[in-house]
Amino acid sequence: MPHEYRKDPEVISRLSPEQYRVTQDAGTEPAFNNAYWDNKEPGIYVDVVSGEPLFASVDKFDSGTGWPSFTRPVEPKNLVEVRESSFGTVRTEVRSAHGDSHLGHVFDDGPVEAGGLRYCMNSAALRFIGRDDLEREGYGEYRGLLEHPDGGR
């Protein structure tokens, strides 16, 4: 059964002020002071607004930046990359494709052996679903990603 991921006004109305500022106003949360920067539990991360699957714990790494960082998305079609110029630099913003949430940015300074990308995300834009809750939450098809050394891919 295909999932319908979308920007839901009802969900947006229930976001915390920080979640709203990050996802709707392209804010950035404080480094080392957010929910998932050091989360090491197995599971997946979904858009807090739409629920679309974004990243898996097997692709998470400690970048030393204080934000959750990943080497690749679990579903590339669920991300949109937008080149932006701000503060005298050019960088690439990452947004969710269906929820249109600002998630963070992607940089080319990630682990070379894993492709060289660092998806630096805001915890406030994510909802973590632990391995034991995947089926109950409707994400059972991603369990295989967490049970194989190569991420099941």
Catalytic residues: 120
Whether 129 contacts 39, CB under 8 Å:
no
Tokens representing residue 106 in the block: 């992607």
CA dihedral 133, 42, 29, 23 (to 10 degrees): -50
| Distances in whole angstroms, Cα of residue 148 to Cα of each of 9, 55, 61, 140, 141 | 37, 16, 17, 15, 13
Give the DSSP H or E segment for 90: strand 89-96
